[in-house]
Amino acid sequence: MAAKILLIALLALASSHALASDPSPLQDFCVADMDSKVRVNGFVCKDPTVVKAEDFFSTGLDKAGDTGKKLGSNVTAVNVNKIVGLNTLGISMVRIDYAPKGLNAPHTHPRATEILTVIEGQLFVGFVTSNSDNGNRLFTKMLKKGDVFVFPEGLIHFQFNPGHTNTVAIGALSSQNPGTITIANAVFGSKPPISDEVLAKAFQIAEMAAKILLISLLAMASSLAMASDPSPLQDFCVADKASKVRVNGFVCKDPTVVKAEDFFSTGLDKAGDTGKKLGSNVTAVNILTVIEGQLLVGFVTSNTDNGNRLFTKMLKKGDVFVFPEGLIHFQFNPGHTKTVAIGALSSQNPGTITIANAVFGSKPPISDDVLAKAFQVDKKTVDWLQAQFWADNNN
């Protein structure tokens, strides 16, 4: 009887708490309808009357992934593409296999915090804080079987197996589609490539050295931030204004036809009409606005978006450009006069991670074993880069 009373008394509390997630679910579940042609932030819901247990199920995570690649590691993801029932639930999982000396190279998850558990073997892990946190501090730990480590959302992190036996780890991530940006690939392997003039300036090396680094690495420079309306479930959701489908916000345009102009606006240097009763005019936009001069700007999509696509645009006075949350981006003044820009960010403290500083200028430095493997160069090159004075333009 006491148990029944306790049960009744707790019914009002048992399910009353919630966690911040992908957008909060508004029904029991929203199983992704992968066959729908409608594009939204995440996926359209399948008719709940046809949902079955298999929509919440996946198998095979007991099987080791192929670690016979350059980095000696393999990530097997269990996300919404694998389990359609994860749609809108704000969680996914990975199994990571590491060969001896295998590395999961420095990377970020722009939409998720990760909690990692070592199942077999050992791992040397670490993450680097943002520029604003007393200058890119490196937190590292050697993990053994049964140990757990947390990588905060959006921060650059890595895992390295220093031993002579295989290691297995399981990670849980706080998004159905956390995204992965492998720093080396995104910065030196984007399609099309980032200008070597931009990279040379970012890494404080000669332009020719940047070209050599570009060719020999496949590998890095710029900034990254976080925060939002409903949390994004992919790199971007460009509004399809032509769609007749009505959702909260707008239906997403097919990402394969998205172009730099979709993140661009012009004319903010023109005065608005103040010949009204109040004698004022508001011209609304969101996000980086050029006040004087010109800027070459760009951002790189995550690994999952057809391989690190680069979107670039030359801006002049009055032009506006948007950098999606969490993606590596840059601005460069190619001219001979000063440029001024104003940016608005969707957080009271968005954080900034300047890639070159965080990876090569962390305190203490990231192991040269880790960086040499990540960038596929010798340790002398890594040691030289770490010895440079890394400038920071954030006040």
17 is in an annotated binding site: no
Determine the Cα angle at 283 with ends 280 and 288, to 5°: 135
329 is in an annotated binding site: no
54 is in an annotated binding site: no
How distant is the alpha carbon of residue 78 from its chain centre? Answer: 18
Distance from C-alpha of 269 to C-alpha of 262, rounded to nearest angstrom: 19
What number of H helices and E strands is found in the chain? Answer: 7, 17
Identify the CA nearest to 90 among candidates 104, 105, 101, 79: 79
Task: Work out the number of other CB atoms within 10 angstroms of the CB of residue 200.
Answer: 19
The answer to whether the CB of 143 falls within 8 A of the CB of 220 is no
How distant is the alpha carbon of residue 217 from its chain centre? Answer: 21
Q: Tell me the two tokens of residue 207.
A: 């332009």
114 is in an annotated binding site: yes
The answer to whether the CB of 214 falls within 8 A of the CB of 193 is yes
Give 320's strand partners: 265, 289
104 is in an annotated binding site: yes
Distance from C-alpha of 254 to C-alpha of 90, rounded to nearest angstrom: 23
User: What's the one-letter identity of residue 136?
Assistant: N
Cite the annotated binding site for Mn(2+) by residue number: 107, 109, 114, 157
Cite the annotated binding site by residue number: 104, 107, 109, 114, 157
Cite the annotated binding site for oxalate by residue number: 104, 109, 114
